[in-house]
Chains A and B, each alone.
Chain A
Amino acid sequence: MKLSLDRKTKVLLVVFLLIYIVVGVLNAIYLSKQSMGEAFKNVANRWVVKLPFGKGIFSRINPLTIFMTWAVMLVVILIAYRFKNPKLIPDRKQSALESLMEFVYQMVEDAIPDQRFVRPTFYIACTLFVFIVFCNILGGAIPGVSIEANAQGNIEKIHLFSDTWFSPTADINTNAFLAVFVFLISQVFAIKSKGFKAWAKTWFEPIPFMFPMNVIGELSKPISHSLRLFGNIAGGALLTYLLAYMAKYLFLPVILWGFFGLFVGVIQALVFTVLAIAYISSALS
């Protein structure tokens, strides 16, 4: 595919790359002096802010996750806004977008037995896929700004281009709540589709004795669903950080590793989406 850029975009791209390289090199010189223990002492910490209201865990929030989510949302919404008025005869970009949506729609249509829930499931599945794919690529393949926090959750250092951006899907909160949402919506669809009595009966099948097993089986779905994505993306981020340290923060290996991050990110987004569709489908069937 031939990439055609206008003059303004080319200038902006060159300026961005220059800043990127200069900051990256300066950062690498500064960071390469630290020891391994110093470099890795905070990898398991998150930047957490305590809110003036709420109690316990409900008073704590991870601002980086939310900021990065807003950034991803902004990018996705801007792209969507560009295609607000689709043409009847699509151009190349619209065709690509349509192909992606057709791909998800086809998956949903093949899996969902009740026609009434095909479109709502498609909206959920497509949004999940787009959101997670952008988050994963951001965290797995693009070097950017990341924040190192201490054990108390306060900011200790800000890394500039020596690590990838922080991915919202590397935070269990995002994945867990999305998985719970998928679980709840699948049960709501099941009640709507079968009726409450028939839905309740499915929990006692094939014999009433199996009820606890069914509960465990159903509840394990959102847990495995969320932890799978979290493990892959958070683990990928750790590996990237490790690789960056080993290469003395020269970002070339990070960019090369980014290719793997890209593939892992897309595959994990697809896995999460396919599982969401499968859970909704199994609840409906």
Chain B
Amino acid sequence: MGFVELNLTGIVQLLNFFILLFALYKLLYKPFTQIMDKRREKVESELAQAEKERKAAQEMKKEAEQILTNARQVAEKIVSDAKQRSDELIAQAKNQAREEADRIMNSARAEIEREKQQALDDVEKKAGEIAVTLAMKILQGVLDEKAKREYLVNILKKGQSE
């Protein structure tokens, strides 16, 4: 029969094709499109999750940076306070030392003054004694001029050495 003959076979073939289309739709296309959609959804949700986590991490980083900045500020404040305090302490100590020095100086000066006074008193007393003794000698009139001078010198030397 003819090599190129259209007959009922074509309609049967078309029916066969529809059956195959239906079977493949049920067995292959539907499950595969479903699984591909599921896979796409999974990838998208995982990407969204990753984005969310990235944002959270960024937020946490910002927070940590804020905490670090605060800590740095607090530390700076502590250091500056401590410095101020130490400056104050140093100033206070310096004042105290100056006061103490002044006090020591004053007491030393007073002591010197006192001792000077005492020395003057002693000299005065000694000079009095010498004058008395000299007067007594003069009164006694036993001494010539030379002897008087020698005697006076001796007394004076003695007084000096004492």
Contacts and interface: CB of A to CB of B under 8 A. Distances in A.
A168 B12 CA distance: 12
A151 B5 CA distance: 13
A71 to B, nearest CB: 11
A51 interface: yes
Contact of A61 (B7, B17, B42): B7
Given A46-B1, A60-B8, A88-B35, A123 B25 contact: yes
B70 to A, nearest CB: 48
A230 B6 CA distance: 13
B14 A76 contact: no
Given A44-B3, A76-B20, A77-B20, A174 B10 contact: yes
A130 B35 CA distance: 20
A80 B28 contact: yes
Interface in B7-63: 7-14, 16-17, 19-21, 23-25, 27-29, 31-33, 35-36, 38-39, 42
B29 A126 contact: yes
B104 to A, nearest CB: 94
Contacts of B28: 80, 83, 97, 101
A224 interface: no
A177 B14 CA distance: 6
Interface in A85-130: 85-88, 97-98, 101, 119, 122-124, 126-127, 130
Contacts of B1: 45-48, 60, 149, 151-153
Interface residues of B, number: 33
Contact of A73 (B10, B19, B31, B33): B19
B8 A127 contact: no
Contact of A124 (B19, B21, B39): B21
A69 B32 CA distance: 25
Interface in B85-123: none
A46 B10 contact: no
B4 interface: yes
B141 interface: no
B10 A173 contact: yes
Interface in A131-159: 131, 149, 151-153
Contacts of A81: 27
Interface residues of A, number: 54
Contact of A57 (B5, B20, B42): B5
A234 B27 contact: no
Contact of B16 (A54, A66, A130): A66
A58 interface: yes
A127 B27 contact: no
Contacts of B17: 127, 131, 177-178, 181
Nearest to B4: A172
B139 to A, nearest CB: 145
A83 B6 contact: no
Given A46-B3, A123-B21, A172-B5, 12 more contacts: A44-B3, A48-B7, A57-B6, A58-B8, A60-B5, A62-B9, A73-B23, A86-B35, A98-B32, A127-B21, A130-B24, A173-B6
Interface of B: 1-14, 16-17, 19-21, 23-25, 27-29, 31-33, 35-36, 38-39, 42
Interface of A: 44-48, 51, 54, 57-62, 65-66, 69-70, 73, 76-77, 80-81, 83-88, 97-98, 101, 119, 122-124, 126-127, 130-131, 149, 151-153, 168, 171-174, 176-178, 181, 230, 234
5 contacts: A48-B1, A88-B35, A101-B28, A123-B29, A174-B10
